[in-house]
Amino acid sequence: MTVFKGLGEFNDEREQRKMRLVDNLYAYLWQGSDNNCNTYVFAAALNQGRHLVIDPGHIATPFYREPGLDRLLKEMEGDGIAEAAIGLVILTHAHPDHCEAAAAIREKNSALVALHEADEATYQMLGGKVDLYLEEGQLVLGEDKPIKLSVYHSPGHSPGHVTLYWPDHKVLIAGDVIFYRSTGRVDLPGGNAGALKQSIQRLSQLDIEYLLCGHPYGHPGIIKGSEAVQENFEFVKRNFLF
């Protein structure tokens, strides 16, 4: 069992932020002072070797104006993941700290943006345009070496929040549903504590080896090892919603 208890377990500053997690899945963990989200990337997962970016975050953070997008793109480039080859952006939900950069990536690289329909109105208010709707069910990326993801509609933090499960490697990309020892807020517009509780309950039934959270709240945001993941679900159930 491995738990990323703190930043001390990473070797250097660069390693704190980026990592190739498993197969072609990369994690870019936010380490700035201001709020921004963690970004996850499936490199060359789409046809023609194009990339899938999940939750690109802020262009610049709201208070300190830290460069979110530039930093992300530079780090991706360091891993050989070119911005120009981004083909799809998936948004777990339409909060600015997850979705702000999506419109810029879409415009510059002709990438498509995918979101659950129930978050579309919020996204449109922020100036965003949706190309594809994400629905509960299977999502297959690419044809040569297809990656099969399960999309779960996981409302509560927002009405159209989705989480993505990759059964081949037991990875759950959880967005703002659950964090290390905490949960997503339910006091924002469209939030619903009962729905969040159900979403967490449902996701806790999955066999998860890597729980990838949408933020590094007091923790890098990746909980590794099925035992540690279950422990975290139990902690949250005991102390928060249940």
Q: How far is the CB of 11 from Zn ion (least distance, A)?
A: 27
Which residue, 142 or 175, has its beta carbon nearer to Zn ion?
A: 175
Q: Is residue 97 near Zn ion by the rule CB under 5 A?
A: yes
Q: H-helix or E-strand containing 72?
A: helix 68-78
Whether the CB-CB separation of 152 and 202 falls below 8 Å is answered with: yes
Which residue, 87 or 190, has its beta carbon nearer to Zn ion?
A: 190
Which residues on neighbouring strands pair with residue 38, listed in sequence order?
Answer: none
Strand order, beta sheet including 112-115 = 18-22, 25-28, 39-42, 51-54, 86-90, 112-115, 132-133
List the structure tokens of 197: 């509780």
Q: Is residue 176 near Zn ion by the rule CB under 5 A?
A: yes
Strand order, beta sheet including 222-224 = 137-141, 147-153, 162-166, 171-175, 210-213, 222-224
CA angle 211, 214, 216 (to 5 degrees): 90
Q: Is residue 119 near Zn ion by the rule CB under 5 A?
A: no
- The DSSP symbol for 9 reads G
Which residue, 71 or 95, has its beta carbon nearer to Zn ion?
A: 95
Stretch that binds Zn ion, among 10-18, 120-128, 211-219, 231-239 (CB under 5 A): 211-219
Q: How far is the CB of 157 from Zn ion (least distance, A)?
A: 6
Stretch that binds Zn ion, among 14-22, 51-59, 201-209, 213-221 (CB under 5 A): 213-221
Q: How far is the CB of 215 from Zn ion (least distance, A)?
A: 5
Which residue, 50 or 95, has its beta carbon nearer to Zn ion?
A: 95
Could you say which of 17, 18, 51, 95 contacts Zn ion (CB under 5 A)?
95
- Interaction site with Zn ion (CB under 5 A): 95, 97, 176, 214
